[in-house]
Structure 1
Amino acid sequence: MRFATVSEAGGQVRCGVVRDDTLLRLPAGTTVLDLLRTDGLRDAGARALADGDAVPLAGLRLLPPVDAPTVRDFVAFEEHVEGMTAGAGVGAEWYEAPTFYFTNPYALVGAHDDVAVPPGCSRLDFECEVAAVIGRGGADIAPEDASAHIAGYTIFNDWSARDLQFREMAVRLGPCKGKDFATTLGPVLVTADELEPYRDADGFLALGMTVAVNGVEIGRDLLSNMGWPFEDLVAYASRGTEVRPGDVLGSGTCGNGGCLAELWGRGRTDLPPLRPGDVVTMTVEGLGTLRNTVVAGREPHPIAQARPRPRTRP
């Protein structure tokens, strides 16, 4: 099943199951997050397919399919890391564990929403990813048990302000303001069972991924080129803590042009940072397509540099 959350005329938010070009709406007030929390997603979807209120998808604004309480983003593609190091190689630490950072759940945007350049940014980038959505909570989940905790998958564009990101990471923290302004999620949440036919002999989901800017293809990869399957990401995310229904776990950026910065690191000088008016399109096999237009953002309110420490003590 494919679940969508939409904004209708007048701003009313509804969710339902997508069938062809139609949304089979669930009762008003129902949310995908509530269904995940009550383990009612599949039953609700079956009811919608049987007798849901059908409306055309055309003209509805697609919102992120789930109002995620937390968003973790991993870095699970070795080829992406290679490009980002600009020839310095992949550190041994990357191979030891599937590293992630927390990003901003308040900054999720829909599949066709405009994305504003964040204040102070001059090197805007996209990142083509897939995300798993947690359906069943748990702590210290074993990898062999983790598939039962994944409700489904969606496309994830981790927009990145590279100049802000690299400055703040030089302080050995972050990324923070380089990442927290926009993350596209959508267009739908596809239940995990729908993607089982794509699973390869090694247990990875072999979904084709492409990204284009202004209609020109920039990157192409397979999701199965991840260093770890999503089940391992779930297990690691829950180690010593817990994951809860609705939590989003991004795969990290695919290789072979999944972002501009990877290609810059490989010596490409013909690809400028994103500018207002650019249209970024991401398509993932079995999941659909995102299409976001970059628009101008606000100027930042100035904040003074840190003062030198006074070097006095009481």
Structure 2
Amino acid sequence: MKLVTYKDKRGNTSIGWLKNDGIIDMPKADSRLPNNMLSFIDDHELYFKIIKDNNLEQIDAHYRLSDVQLLAPLPNPRSFRDYIGFEQHMLNASKSFGHTVGPAWYDMPIFYFTNHHGVYGPEDEIQRPKGETKLDIELEMAVVIGKRGKDIKTENADDYIFGYTVFNDWTARAIQKHEMTVPLGPHKGKDFANAIGPCIVTKDEFEQYRCGISREIHPEHLAMPKTTDGRFDLKMTSRINGKTICEGNYKTVHWTFPQMMERASENNVTLMPGDILGSGTVGWGSLIENNFTVHRPLEPGDVVELEIEGIGVLRNTVI
């Protein structure tokens, strides 16, 4: 299922799932279903059973997509971690910043906590931070946690996954470059906007894309990942003002979501339903990797589209 949060013409907010070019509203389909995504995720096993037992996926859509405004599918995640999962991005960005990849990156998936209140959805306007001169995008996929757990092992992590969405980790590179001279990691340069959407695709729909590792994708100059679990053959594309900037694939990821979940939950740390983990940027999925030669830093009026096969297009405009 492709789950969405939306606003109708009367300004009412609800949730539902996509059907062709329309939306089936959950509370309208069955009064036992909730009208917000976090509540649905919390008890999704019960709610999916209601949908299946009552054959609700077969009913007619309540709204046309053209008659509603899609919002961030999960506007209020309980927490938001972002990782650096792709080696090619790590190599490119490190070179642009004038340093080398630390050996620890190959030992464990590295993450930071980003702003789980600064969540934007499809078609939302993204305000460029005051004084920022190198506004950038990051083409990522994100996983939504569906079940509470701690000390989760990689081989069991799939049981805790609810679904996947497109993630644009908007980044203020000028701010970031200055603040990261202090070895604490990114903070204010990542604080202002996290865009997700247009929907959350439930994990069952991703089984058709599951794959292993190809030497063509991981040439010998790149370190081989430690596991094939959790990889999907999914095209990832970014466009700015209609021009294609990056064409990548999620299967090139080095650290997978199951490995990230093990790292985040180890040492008695609890992951909660509605937590989000970002994959990190696919190789060449940000402008800093080419030192802004493939495209100038983003300016007001620029329209950014991130697309991931099987999920859809996340579109935002810079103001």
Instruction: Tell me if TM exceeds 0.5.
Output: yes
Residue equivalent to 1:283: 307
Q: Is the partner of 1:9 in helix, strand or coil?
A: coil
Q: CA RMSD in A?
A: 1.6
Q: 1:64 to 1:80 in 2, by over 3 A?
A: same
| Shift in Å, 1:173 | 2.3
Residue equivalent to 1:79: 88
Residue equivalent to 1:54: 62
Q: Is the partner of 2:66 in helix, strand or coil?
A: coil
Q: Is the 8 A contact 2:167 2:194 kept in 1?
A: yes
Residue equivalent to 1:229: 256
Q: Is the partner of 2:232 in helix, strand or coil?
A: coil
Partner amino acid for 1:31? N
Q: Is the 8 A contact 2:134 2:173 kept in 1?
A: yes
Residue equivalent to 1:298: none
Partners of 1:45 and 1:159 in 2: how far apart? 36
Q: Does 1:5 align with 2:14?
A: no
Gaps of 5+ in 2: 29-33, 213-227
Provide Cα deviations, 1:152-176, integer angstroms capped at 9, x if missing partner.
1000000000011111111222422
Q: Is the 8 A contact 1:78 1:90 kept in 2?
A: no
Q: 1:10 to 1:174 in 2, by over 3 A?
A: farther
Partner amino acid for 1:138? G
Q: Is the partner of 1:81 in helix, strand or coil?
A: helix
Q: Is the partner of 2:57 in helix, strand or coil?
A: helix
Provide Cα deviations, 1:125-182, integer angstroms capped at 9, x if missing partner.
0000000000011000011110000001000000000011111111222422111111
Among residues 27, 37, 48, which one is paired with 1:42 in the alignment?
48
Q: 1:44 to 1:123 in 2, by over 3 A?
A: farther
Among residues 188, 211, 214, which one is paired with 1:200 in the alignment?
211
| Shift in Å, 1:10 | 3.2
Residue equivalent to 1:23: 23
> Across the two proteins, how many residue pairs are aligned to each other?
291
| Shift in Å, 1:51 | 4.2
Q: Is the 8 A contact 2:248 2:282 kept in 1?
A: yes
Provide Cα deviations, 1:3-62, integer angstroms capped at 9, x if missing partner.
000012232111001111110001175212111112335235545424476211113211
Among residues 266, 275, 282, which one is paired with 1:239 in the alignment?
266
Residue equivalent to 1:209: 236
Q: 1:173 to 1:90 in 2, by over 3 A?
A: closer
Q: Is the 8 A contact 1:26 1:44 kept in 2?
A: no
Normalised by the size of structure 1, how large is the TM-score? Answer: 0.88
Partner amino acid for 2:299? R
Gaps of 5+ in 1: 296-314
Partners of 2:238 and 2:177 in 1: how far apart? 23
Partners of 2:99 and 2:187 in 1: how far apart? 24
Q: Is the 8 A contact 1:144 1:231 kept in 2?
A: yes
Q: 1:197 to 1:261 in 2, by over 3 A?
A: same
Residue equivalent to 1:65: 73
Q: Is the partner of 1:27 in helix, strand or coil?
A: helix
Among residues 151, 165, 180, which one is paired with 2:176 in the alignment?
165
